[in-house]
Amino acid sequence: MIHMLIRALHEKERRRKGGTTRTQFFLVAFVCSFAYYIFPGYLFEMLTSISWICWIFPTSVVAQQLGSGLHGLGIGAIGLDWSSISSYLGSPLSSPLFATANIAAGFFIYIYVVTPIAYWFNVYEARNFPIFSDGLFTATGQKYNISSIVDSEFHFDANAYEKNGPLYISTFFAVSYGLGFACLTATIVHVLLFHGSEIWQLSKSAFQDRKMDVHTKLMRRYRQVPEWWFICILVASAAITVFTCEYYIEQLQLPWWGILLACALSIFYTLPIGIITATTNQTPGLNIITEYIMGYLYPGRPVANMCFKVYGHVAPRQALAFLQDFKLGHYMKIPPRTMFMAQVSYYTRHTNNDRYLSEDNHI
C-alpha cells in the first residue's frame, strides 16, 4: 500500500478533462479526513462512542456495563471515529477478508460471550471489579497500591504483599491474557501446518541458484549488503546490552543470561510472527510471554522483568519493521546499501520502545 501511494504521488500523470489526478484526489481526501477528525478527536469527543443505552438508563450500572463504548461492552454504541471503528483490527482496508472475518468472530466471542459469562457468573469474584478495565485491584475492588509492595530498591516485598492481600484483575484483562498465550501457541502451530513445507523448500533454495523475478533482476545493478554487516550489528548490540545490564546490575536487575534468553526468544518468534504479519496484516506480540517467563525464572525483580520485556518484545517488531523498509526499498529500486545505512541511522535514533510497549496485542 505504501509502495502504491509513493508511486501515485511521484509518477507523472495527465489530468483527464473533468477529472482529477491521483495526487489531487489524495490531497482532497487528506484535507477532508483531517477536517472531519477535528470533531471526534478534539471538538466533540463524544462522537467516538455514542452510547444511547447509557443515555436512556443513566443511573443503571448494568446499562453502563452493557452500553458504554469506553468502559463497557459497547452494545448498541455508535462510533463515528474511524480510529475507534478500526481499533480491534488496525485497518480493515489493509487486511484480507479471511483475516478480518476471523478477527471479527474472535472479537465477538471474546467480548460478547466469554467475558459476560465469566463476569455475571462471578467467576473468581469477578463482580467485585469493573467488567472492562486494565487496572489492578484489591479483593474489595479498590485500586491496588503497587508502591506499597515494592521496596526502596525496586524489589518485590513479599511481606508487604501478604499484608495488603492478593492482587486481582478484571475479567476482561484476565481473558485477554489467556488469549495472548493462545495466540502465540496458535501462531507456531499455524505456521508449521500451513507454511512448514514452504519454509523448508525456501531454506534449501537459499543455498542454490533460483529464478529471479523482475524486481530482483533490476536490483542486481546495485551492490548488495554483505551478511557480515548484519552479524556485526547483532553482536555489537548484544554485547553493549550485556555490558550495560551487568554494569548497572543493581539498577536494571537483569543478568547477562536474561539478555541472551531474550535474543533467543526473539530469533525463534521472528519468522512465524513475520509470516502471520505478511499474510494477515496482524502482528502477534511477545509482551505477555516475556513477562511470564522472566517473572517465573527471576521472581521479585520488576525492573528486570520490564527490561526483559523490552528486549524480548521490541526486537521482533524492530526486525519486521526493518524488513518492511527493505521490501519497500526493493520495490522502489533504492540501492540496498543506501537503504541499510538510512535504516540503521533511523532506528538508532528512534527506537520507539515506548510505542511498542504500550501496544496491547492480546486479542
pLDDT score recorded for residue 87: 73
pLDDT < 70 regions, the chain: 1-11, 88, 90, 92, 206-210, 349-363
pLDDT score recorded for residue 103: 86
pLDDT score recorded for residue 259: 93
HEC secondary structure over the chain: CHHHHHHHHHCCCCCCCCCCCHHHHHHHHHHHHHHHHHHHHHHCHHHHCECHHHHHCCCCHHHHHHHCCCCCCCCCCECCCHHHHCCCCCCCCCCCHHHHHHHHHHHHHHHHHHHHHHHHCCCCCHHHCCCCCCCEECCCCCECCHHHHECCCCCECHHHHHHHCCCEECHHHHHHHHHHHHHHHHHHHHHHHHHHHHHHHHHHHCCCCCCCCHHHHHHCCCCCCCHHHHHHHHHHHHHHHHHHHHHCHHHHCCCHHHHHHHHHHHHHHHHHHHHHHHHHCCCCCCHHHHHHHHHHHCCCCHHHHHHHHHHHHHHHHHHHHHHHHHHHHHHCCCCHHHHHHHHHHHHHHCCCHHHHHHCCCCC
- The total of other beta-carbon atoms located within 10 Å of residue 126's CB is 21
pLDDT score recorded for residue 247: 93
pTM of this prediction exceeds 0.85: no
pLDDT score recorded for residue 25: 82
pLDDT score recorded for residue 10: 67
pLDDT score recorded for residue 363: 35
